[in-house]
A and B are shown apart, each in its own frame.
Chain A
Amino acid sequence: MMRSTDAVTSVSNLNAKPQRLRRLKKSLLLNWQLYVLILPVIVYYIVFHYLPMYGIQIAFKDFIANKGIMDSPWVGFKHFERFFNSYYFERLLKNTILISLYTLALSFPIPIILALMLNEVKAERFKKMVQTITYAPHFLSVVVIVGMLFLFLNPSTGIINHIIMALGFESIPFMTSPGWFKTLYVLSDVWQTMGWSSIIYLAALSGVDNQLHEAATIDGASKLQRIWHINIPTIAPTIVILLILNLGSVMSVGFEKVFLMQNNLNLSSSDVISTYVYRTGILDSQFSFSAAVGLFNSIINFALLVIVNYIARRVNETSLW
């Protein structure tokens, strides 16, 4: 995906520095317009992405607003220690990891299965219809999805509880019970993303060599056998790449949906690192402390990505870089 051969060549060119400088100069003279074009983009990335990285230092300082980021006093790992020793640490870590793992367990395999199933459909119109329908929820906003959850699951007026009550049971206050939070989060995620996530596997499946299937059929292989021995191995590299990306983000549960589904009653099971950073940082203005919490999270994310990628390259010869 991002296997940058350019980076490799530029590294190997390091020892040929004078020649490289000369080339750069020549390129600048000849292609100055290209540099003019890309300048605003570089400025944007430096200002809005690299300056905040420089601002991370407040995690190791006691940020005082009128002194600014530079002149606030250093305090070492004070904020990290406070976080690790806090009452919330274990709860946040547990919720963050569990929500990710549950999501991974369902939202990852289901699109693969859906793609494999769709790939077997010979009737073009039926296939198109299934695709059109299952892709649609992808375009709804998080606010709309969570709004629908609230409406459908309302204890007294929602349709789900009408059904439960019609069957003779007590209505369930889904949105305010901690026990239901993760289930609702994951199931609504599957509902929204399964179709769209299957596109990439469908694309990979279109590359399957038909001759393999014909040969296997002649040898008496059943459909399931052919899917298992031909289709799945063909899309394995795609699966591995996406698995790497997903495992790499195990510690970064998206803020947007959790935050909307969160309320004081289900906080014990819905509080994750990103919502905690928002509460302590933006709402309570404890900038240094929440920056430390956020940094802890980013570092783990980054480390996970590197480790998983390393393992994948070792085992499967498929990797991001």
Chain B
Amino acid sequence: MIDRSLGDRVFNVVNYVLLSLICIVVLYPLLFVLSASVSNPETVLRGEMWLIPKEFNLDSYTKIFQNKDILMGYGNTILYTAMGTALNLVMTVCAAYPLSRKDFAGRGLITGLIVFTMFFSGGLIPTYLLIKNLNMLDTFWVMIIPNAVSVWNIIIMRTFFQQSIPGEIQEAAMIDGSSHFQTLFRVVLPLSMPIIAVMVLFYAVGHWNAYFNALIYLSSKDKFPLQLILRELLVQSDSGDFIKLTSEAGVRLKMSMEGLKYAVLVVANLPMLILYPFLQRYFVKGIMIGALKG
């Protein structure tokens, strides 16, 4: 359609301008962090760096890779993310496949049981006491098991099984004498790779970014995930005070600590930063499948 009227043309111009502004507002802080991380920290802290890196250097990154806490946190997070996502995926398939089948008696009851937990929960304290009674406090497992599966993702996957995999194929397999396990592994799963990719991404991002369970349940630092280390570095160390200009050396130290923070932000999001452009469409696909049902 061609926009004929003047009003419509004005609308179009305003629309493009506003959207461009929104892009700048969203993008600028991200680019600033990126540029600040490769600039000389002093220029950043004095407010001389606006967008283009000043006095390019990678000192902050070298320092990060010498920092034991960050490296350990990184290692822990990778482990929690890998193990957690694997368990999430298995549990989601285990729940979604039976719930997607019409011949599964008790389907409504079990769906109700699972969905109810989205709207009402025991709350923080009873859950904490349970974890304590299970002797899971400050263990590796507390980062994996309490979040073994998410209701929302079960619903998304079940919907995919119901709508995107023709029931006739499953029926045909069953008539040919294949069991439920065989149907699941040989027919359903091979046809579900797109949704499995989406699930892996959703769960993995969730694990990578989570800090709540670690904050509540972990006490020994060698088990801390990256986000908790980040919290110490970025949030707790910032008292909001003005820098006390006592000695030249003191200022230097504070400066390099502050400069480090930008690089830490980049490193923490590195996997996301690299993968995001390639994976974006999968994420969107996932949320669409969820939304269609809604």
Contacts and interface: CB of A to CB of B under 8 A. Distances in A.
Contact of B123 (A132, A139, A191, A277): A277
Contacts of A200: 287, 291, 294
Given A195-B26, A203-B292, A53 B122 contact: yes
Interface in B216-273: 216, 227, 230-231, 233-235, 238, 240-243, 258, 261-262, 264-265, 268-269, 272
B97 to A, nearest CB: 6
A23 interface: yes
Contact of A298 (B45, B97, B120): B120
Chain A: number of interface residues, binned into ranges: 35 or more
B126 A27 contact: no
Nearest to B227: A143
Interface stretch (A43-51, A81-89, A92-100): A43-51
Contacts of A168: none
B64 to A, nearest CB: 14
Contact of B277 (A54, A132, A162, A204): A132
In this complex, the member of A48, A133, A191 whose beta carbon has the largest number of chain B beta carbons within 10 angstroms is A48
A134 B238 contact: no
In this complex, the member of B29, B110, B122, B269 whose beta carbon has the largest number of chain A beta carbons within 10 angstroms is B122
Contacts of A147: 230, 233-235, 261, 264-265
A182 B128 CA distance: 29
Contact of B125 (A31, A132, A176, A281): A281
B84 to A, nearest CB: 14
Contacts of B172: none
Interface stretch (B53-61, B98-106, B190-198): B98-106
Nearest to B127: A52
B208 A141 contact: yes
B interface, by DSSP: helix, strand, loop or mixed?
Answer: helix
Interface in A141-179: 141-144, 146-148, 150-152, 154-157, 159, 162-163, 166, 173, 175-176
Nearest to B10: A223
Contact of A40 (B91, B154, B208): B91
B130 A51 contact: yes
A182 B284 CA distance: 30
Given A260-B235, A294-B125, A130 B108 contact: no
B65 interface: no
Given A31-B104, A118-B19, A203-B288, A4 B294 contact: no
A298 B243 CA distance: 43
Given A38-B99, A56-B123, A4 B115 contact: yes
A143 B22 contact: no
Interface in A52-79: 52-56, 58, 63, 69
B211 A34 contact: no
Leading 3 A-B pairs by shortest Cβ distance: A52-B122, A162-B47, A6-B108
8 contacts: A31-B105, A37-B97, A40-B91, A135-B280, A143-B234, A154-B258, A277-B125, A298-B120
